[in-house]
Amino acid sequence: MDTTLAQLQSYLEARLGQVERALEQYLPIQTERPRQLPSAMRYAVLGGGKRLRPILCGASAEACGASLEPVMPTACALELIHAFSLVHDDLPALDNDTLRRGKPTVWCAYNEAMAILTGDALFAMAFELLAKQAETTPAERVIQVLALVTQAVGVDGMVGGQVEDILSEGSEPTPDGLAYIHLRKTGALIRASVLAGAILAGATPEQLRALDTYSTAIGLAFQIVDDILNETSTPETLGKATQSDRNRGKATYPRLFGLDESWRQAETAIREALQSLADFDERANPLRWLAQYTLLRQR
């Protein structure tokens, strides 16, 4: 096997194990009351998912001289926000999806009311974990991360991107409109994950600027590949519905540019991401592997 691929695989396996263990410990255990909610939260989060956002947060901390374990509360908070967005995104009022990470979506396994409340509880818990980071990290860094993450999920981040995505259904996509959606709906949280790890590790302003370029580029490439896989993969491989974007008339890269040109644009973004790491030493290698993984992933 190609060395980079082998290194990436063993890196991902090790980090995935660390993140799974932490999530397992942080999430509430089901007791008598409230009924269902802790078990629905665990169902939504555990047992699936690539954990890309926490792994990026840890890899970025590594590139700046720290490591994943000291930033774990923040890394897991980012995964909880991601899981929350998936639970709500799958609801009948949004994408109306029944399959996620190879199992029934939360609203199908429980019901709509419980899925809404599970998302709400995961979102609240994410902020509990972001605050917990202050137990081991200087408070001014934690507050910087808090501001970054709230911006990434709010009106000019994930929610804004999602709103544009929904409102664009059925209309002819434009390159500008599509970039707006992708950079916010998916890119903003990926960017925040990379920058959060760096801020907590005490990165310099130059390092943060470089990682801003890196994370914006991989966030865009990640969503372009997501669009491509939605078009070309199968539910068995992807663990969620395929062809759904096309069926809903969603604005996607393949629809606007075709598959070949979409791949080219994703590759260009990854080249830019790799170039932005030029001044980092070998401790940024995991970030370099993760950039390449964006293009290699099958799910």
User: Nearer Cβ to ligand GRG, position 226 or 245?
Assistant: 226
Shortest separation between residue 240's beta carbon and ligand GRG, angstroms: 8
User: Nearer Cβ to ligand GRG, position 94 or 124?
Assistant: 94
The phi and psi torsions of 219 (rounded to 5 degrees) equal -60, -45
Task: Measure Cα distances from 112 to 87, 95, 102, 267 in Å.
Answer: 10, 13, 19, 39
- For ligand GRG, the binding residue among 11, 26, 84, 257 (CB under 6 A) is 84
CA dihedral sign of residues 138, 152, 73, 114: positive
Shortest separation between residue 89's beta carbon and ligand GRG, angstroms: 4
User: Of all residues in the chain, what percent are helix, strand and coil, respectively (each to 5)?
Assistant: 75, 0, 25
Confirm or reject binding of residue 185 to ligand GRG (CB under 6 A): yes
User: Nearer Cβ to ligand GRG, position 49 or 286?
Assistant: 49
Separation CA 218–CA 191 (nearest Å):
8
**If you write DSSP's letter for every residue of 49-85 in order, what string do you get?**
---HHHHHHHHHHHHTT--TGGGHHHHHHHHHHHHHH
Confirm or reject binding of residue 182 to ligand GRG (CB under 6 A): no
- For ligand GRG, the binding residue among 19, 66, 76, 81 (CB under 6 A) is 81
Separation CA 124–CA 80 (nearest Å):
9
Contact pattern from residue 211 through residue 230 relative to ligand GRG, giving x for each residue in contact according to CB under 6 A and a dash for the rest: ------------x--x----
Confirm or reject binding of residue 52 to ligand GRG (CB under 6 A): yes
Give the bridge partners for 104, in sequence order.
99
User: Nearer Cβ to ligand GRG, position 11 or 66?
Assistant: 11
Residues within the interface to ligand GRG (CB under 6 A): 49-50, 52, 81-82, 84-86, 88-89, 94, 101, 153, 158-159, 162, 185-186, 223, 226
